[in-house]
């Protein structure tokens, strides 16, 4: 049963990474470099979880590994946000030049920016909580307030 939860966890993280990559692939009009950057950053927490699950008998990690993994995830969300905003800017610039109204596509891109911006902000807050070992949800009993990689004792 435990192995099933680990596999499910890694699979879900890979689905999220795939979604991020497909989003950037479409937004950047099929450019490889932005997609590769987002893929590399997005897949890191899945790779860290696979490594942690397969090498540690108790699946316990050091606090710094969780912070590093979360920081790389923040970089992934930041990259998605930057590429999305650059796409929005080019659409809005063309609309301003042509004096047309904003299209549904640009609104959907804008809403995606809010989603990834919110995820970015929440991950930055989680890093701050991890660094200062503040655990509001666990009553301060856990050495890790949050982590992308699995922590179990």
* Distance (Å, whole) CA 100 – CA 56: 58
- For the stretch 48-59, pLDDT in tens is 888 777 776 555
- For the stretch 113-125, pLDDT in tens is 777 778 788 878 8
Over range 103-111, report the average pLDDT: 63
| 41 has a pLDDT exceeding 80 | yes
List the chain domain ranges. Answer: 2-131
Calculate the average pLDDT of the chain.
Answer: 75
Neighbours of 126 (CB within 10 A): 19
- DSSP for 94-146? HHHHHT-PPPHHHHHHHHHHHHHHHHHHHHHHHHHHHHTT--TTTTT-SS-S-
Crossing angle, helix 32-42 and helix 63-98, to 10 degrees? 150
């Amino acid at each position: 049963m435990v192995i099933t939860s680990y596999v499910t966890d890694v699979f879900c993280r890979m689905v999220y990474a795939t979604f991020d990559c497909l989003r950037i692939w479409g937004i950047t009009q099929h450019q490889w470099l932005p997609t590769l950057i987002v893929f590399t950053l997005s897949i890191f927490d899945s790779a860290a979880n696979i490594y942690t699950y397969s090498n540690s008998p108790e699946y316990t990690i050091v606090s710094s590994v969780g912070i590093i993994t979360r920081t790389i995830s923040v970089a992934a969300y930041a990259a998605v946000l930057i590429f999305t905003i650059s796409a929005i800017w080019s659409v809005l610039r063309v609309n301003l030049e042509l004096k047309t109204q904003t299209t549904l596509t640009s609104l959907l891109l804008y809403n995606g920016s809010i989603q990834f911006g919110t995820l970015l902000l929440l991950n930055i807050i989680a890093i701050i909580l991890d660094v200062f070992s503040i655990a509001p949800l666990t009553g301060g009993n856990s050495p890790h307030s949050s982590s992308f990689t699995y922590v179990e004792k």
